[in-house]
A and B are shown apart, each in its own frame.
Chain A
Amino acid sequence: MELSESVQRGFQTLADPGSFDSNAFALLLRAAFQSLLDAQADEAVLDHPDLKHIDPVVLKCCHAAAATYILEAGKHRADKSTLSTYLEDCKFDRERIELFCTEYQNNKNSLESLLESIGKSLPHITDVSWRLEYQIKTNQLHKMYRPAYLVTLNVENTDSQSYPEISFSCNMEQLQDLVGKLKDASKSLERATQL
């Protein structure tokens, strides 16, 4: 993991009991995780009364450093020893290292979910609806008397946050073909997971 100087400086300040007492440290740590993971996080996450005595610029620097480090650690799937080593290098005492690792462990799953969801991918199918109809006539053709399906795929676009739909019609044979191919895909998937 490559971390910038500003992260290191921020952490060195965080490690210093003169700048951040135990309570302030814990609050800042929690604030960092909250602003990353809580979708409804308040912009005033650093507005706690017990943090008021610290210079706002310093507060922001340290908050940014912590958040950056948390993201990098999450991205690289850092384990406890990696975290400890880095924090030791930044002169954190045992107690603070333990607190950091515990908070990190508690939030690890949410962090990894968040990171996994970032990035471009193809439009993703989320659901399907179908309608069965019996066609009787059109103005061009009478006496049709055949079943037809209307299938709609609900699709999600990760980047544009749009939800287009793809609709198409098919007759019974075509739907059987579609279902057959989907079943092939899922059987293949099952076999692959058993390897």
Chain B
Amino acid sequence: MLLDLSEEHREHLAFLPQVDSAGKLNVSSDTVQHGVEGLTYLLTESSKLMISELDFQDSVFVLGFSEELNKLLLQLYLDNRKEIRTILNELAPDLPTYHSLEWRLDVQLASRSLRQQIKPTVTFKLHLNHNGEHNTKVLQTDPATLLHLVQQLEQALEEMKTNHCRRVVRNIK
């Protein structure tokens, strides 16, 4: 799949070969900005679509750059692709994601309304990340519900190993 680079994009990127080896730029700041934006667009679109090496090379070829510059751009793409995809992933509509869980066992011995109790409880601190913010929630449960939670979530993990899920994973590529 080839990248679709519009006229505007090509114009922006056209400035790249003019950067001399010493790195000094004798052009207006606008041109530099456009150049950077063009380069960014090239890399993010390529990463987003996860295009192959060959497709990337072909897409860049139309810009008419030198062999050396093309090679450089390809390397830049391959080196940074994974990280760019990680960052793009964070832009998606998002729910809080699990970070970690701390737990503690307590036994309630008495309260204002009832003395001489032996009431085991499990207290959790659930750490979640949301939009770059770290949230914690303090929760509690009883032993029976804890066992139920473990059982339910183990079933959830088991699902991925079923034939149905394996077939889906194999066939949707």
- Residue numbers of A with Cβ under 8 A of B are 74-77, 112, 115-116, 118-119, 121-128, 130, 132, 134, 136, 138, 140-145, 147, 149-151, 153, 155, 166-170, 172, 174-179, 181-186, 188-189, 192-193
Contacts and interface: CB of A to CB of B under 8 A. Distances in A.
Nearest to B86: A141
Contacts of A136: 172
Given A77-B116, A186-B143, 18 more contacts: A76-B115, A77-B114, A122-B123, A122-B140, A123-B137, A125-B145, A125-B149, A127-B148, A132-B160, A138-B89, A138-B91, A142-B49, A150-B95, A167-B95, A179-B154, A181-B101, A185-B103, A188-B105
B140 A123 contact: yes
A189 B153 contact: no
Given A74-B114, A75-B114, A145-B172, A168 B98 contact: yes
B54 interface: no
Nearest to A158: B140
18 contacts: A115-B113, A116-B113, A122-B138, A122-B140, A124-B141, A124-B142, A125-B124, A125-B145, A138-B93, A141-B48, A141-B85, A142-B50, A151-B153, A182-B153, A183-B150, A184-B103, A189-B105, A192-B120
Given A136-B172, A189-B120, A141 B150 contact: no
Classify chain B: how many residues form its interface, as a range. Answer: 35 or more
Counting from the closest, the 6 A-B pairs by CB-CB distance are A170-B98, A115-B114, A122-B140, A125-B141, A138-B92, A118-B113
